[in-house]
Amino acid sequence: MSSSPDVARMKHELARLIAIDTQNPPGHEAPAAEYLRELLVGGGFGVTVQEYKPGRVNVIARLENGAGPVFAFNTHMDVVPAGEGWSSDPFGLTEKDGRLYGRGACDCKGPLAAMLEAMRMLAGDRTAWSGTLLGVFVADEEIASEGARFYAAGHPRIDAAVVGEPTSNAVFSAHKGSLRPIVRVFGVSAHSGTPHLGENAIYRAGELLGLVAEHHDKVICHRSHPLVGAASLTVTRINGGHADNVLPGACDLLLDRRMVPGEDEETVKREIGEILVIARERFGLRAEVVDYKATTGGATETAPDSPIVSASLAASRAHGVAKPGPFGFQGACDLVHFRSIGAQGTVIGPGDLAVAHKPDEFVPVDEFITASLIYRDVAKAMLRN
């Protein structure tokens, strides 16, 4: 096997992956998982397929090469819905002006195809490293990280990991987390012609909105992390009432709480509860958290002086990235779940997060090819003899 990337093969495999519809919801990653299984078995890897729900599948590839640490590549097979506004078929790879267009081109089938090529290069030159190489390609990162959560629940041994996400091949070593409680504000239903006989839950919810904004401005936004910036608390959805002529007896607010590394999810939940206590004491308002919407997970970071960060920065810099980092994601990704099982980790990948989730998503060809070399070199550094 060659120790340099096969560009034609990478483009072909990216085209095949983009053509497999893994829009989430519903995800249905099984056909993509089967394609990956075939490629990886053909490359000499042992492959395990984890179907944790019907059609929702993780692919775990393994190559043991003597004694040493365990290193993993990870990214996800699902993509966000294609939506409208595309200039070309979102499920047909289009190359134009040095860019590869298609849904998932940078988030995250481009990083996935680059990782596959890196794994082949490593398999073809086993004298340069020692240990165990894993490819952990998961379902459902875009909604709830069910695939990564399921995999991590088995407590596999992983010493270090690189998570593929669009970073323009720079190194990200921290990311925010998210928590989304649904808060129900209660009123008393009545005929809308006699509103004095009831209590309008939407009006009462308005009082809570002010408290949420106040808590963000006075408390939450002052919690900051040097790489990811400030924490936040806001409202992203409101739903109240069930008929045009009925005073609403309940109104639901969806809160979006962005956490920074160092914040604990259980503590954040208690803080939300404390806001509701203040609302009751100040306004006589009745409200409770009735559910939590699924999210990717909490915040995390890898120490800047850790070996994986040093190796990632060196590889990124060596392959021409002018500002290699380390940086921090404003959003979340699956790194937190690898950190939860004790792995050091960084996030690296071709493409720009600014074009992910949009029509005409693309990955630059040069970044796509370079990513495979960066991935290869980080793995070699972490799997030294």
Tell me the residue type at 297: G
Q: What is the mean pLDDT of residues 149-154?
A: 98
What percent of the chain is predicted at pLDDT more than 90?
Answer: 98
CB neighbour burial string for 88-111, b if at least 16 within 10 angstroms, e if fewer: eebbebbeeeebbbbbbbbbbbbb
Residue that is written with structure tokens 């190194």 in the block: 171
- Model confidence pLDDT, tens digit, residues 95-126: 999 999 999 999 999 999 999 999 999 999 99
- Model confidence pLDDT, tens digit, residues 277-296: 999 999 999 999 999 999 99
DSSP 173-188: EEE-EEEEEEEEEE-B
Q: What is the pTM of this model?
A: 0.94
Average pLDDT of every residue of the chain? 97
What's residue 58's pLDDT? 98
**Is residue 1 very low, low, confident or very high in pLDDT (cuts 50, 70, 90)?**
very low
Work out the burial of residue 372: count CB atoms within 10 Å of its CB; fewer than 13 is exposed, 13-18 middle, 19 or more buried: buried
What percent of the chain is predicted at pLDDT more than 70?
Answer: 99
- Model confidence pLDDT, tens digit, residues 201-258: 999 999 999 999 999 999 999 999 999 999 999 999 999 999 999 999 999 999 999 9
What's residue 3's pLDDT? 77
What's residue 385's pLDDT? 55
CB neighbour burial string for 297-326, b if at least 16 within 10 angstroms, e if fewer: bbbbbbeeebbbbebbbbbbbebebeebbb
- Model confidence pLDDT, tens digit, residues 46-68: 999 999 999 999 999 999 999 99
Q: Would you mind telling me the total number of residues written for the chain in this entry? A: 385
Quote the CA–CA distance of 7 and 13 in Å, as a whole number.
10
Q: 345 pLDDT exceeds 80?
A: yes
